[in-house]
C-alpha cells in the first residue's frame, strides 16, 4: 500500500482564478501522475510528472492551463489556471508502486468552480 496526501481536500473557487493542488507521496519516485475525474465520469490522465524534466501532457491538456511542478522525488503540484465551471472535478495524484507498477492514488481534491 501507499500513503499519499493531497491538499486541499476540497475547495470552492471563483471563475478566472487559479488553484494549486499539492501532492505528497511516501517514497521517492521518478514518475507521478495527475488525473481528472469529472462528475459521474471515469479518470482521465492529465499529465505525467517526471522529476527533473518537463511534465508530459496527454491530448487535450496543455501546460498553460495545468502547469505542473516536480521539485523533488516525493512532491508535486498541479495548478488549475483561469478556472471555469467546466473545471469542476476531482483531481487525483498517483504514483507507481508495487512489483508491477500498479498505481496508488491520493484521496483527491474536489474542486468546484462558481
Partner 1 sequence: AQSVAQPEDQVNVAEGNPLTVKCTYSVSGNPYLFWYVQYPNRGLQFLLKYITGDNLVKGSYGFEAEFNKSQTSFHLKKPSALVSDSALYFCAVRETTDSWGKFQFGAGTQVVVTP
Residues that bind partner 1 (CB under 8 A): 1, 4, 31, 33, 41-43, 45, 48, 56, 92, 96, 98-108, 110
Q: Facing residues of 12 across strands?
A: 112
Pick the closest to residue 111 from 18, 24, 30 (CA basis): 18
**Least CB distance to partner 1 at residue 82 (A):** 26
**Least CB distance to partner 1 at residue 14 (A):** 23
Measured at the CA of 55, the angle between CA 73 and CA 46, to 5 degrees, comes to 110
Closer to partner 1 by Cβ: residue 49 or 83: 49
* DSSP state at residue 53: S
**CA 15 vs CA 10, 26, 76, 102, 106: distances in Å:** 16, 33, 24, 36, 26
Closer to partner 1 by Cβ: residue 75 or 105: 105
**Least CB distance to partner 1 at residue 107 (A):** 4
Closer to partner 1 by Cβ: residue 83 or 95: 95
**Least CB distance to partner 1 at residue 56 (A):** 8
Amino acid at each position: 500500500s501507499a500513503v499519499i496526501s493531497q491538499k486541499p481536500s476540497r475547495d470552492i473557487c471563483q471563475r478566472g482564478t487559479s488553484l494549486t493542488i499539492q501532492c505528497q507521496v511516501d517514497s521517492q519516485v521518478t514518475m507521478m501522475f495527475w488525473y481528472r475525474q469529472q462528475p459521474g465520469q471515469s479518470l482521465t490522465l492529465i499529465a505525467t510528472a517526471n522529476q527533473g524534466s518537463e511534465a508530459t501532457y496527454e491530448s487535450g491538456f496543455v501546460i498553460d492551463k495545468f502547469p505542473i511542478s516536480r521539485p523533488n522525488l516525493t512532491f508535486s503540484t498541479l495548478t488549475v489556471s483561469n478556472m471555469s465551471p467546466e473545471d469542476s472535478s476531482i483531481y487525483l495524484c498517483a504514483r507507481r508502486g508495487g512489483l508491477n507498477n500498479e498505481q496508488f492514488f491520493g484521496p483527491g481534491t474536489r474542486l468546484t468552480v462558481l
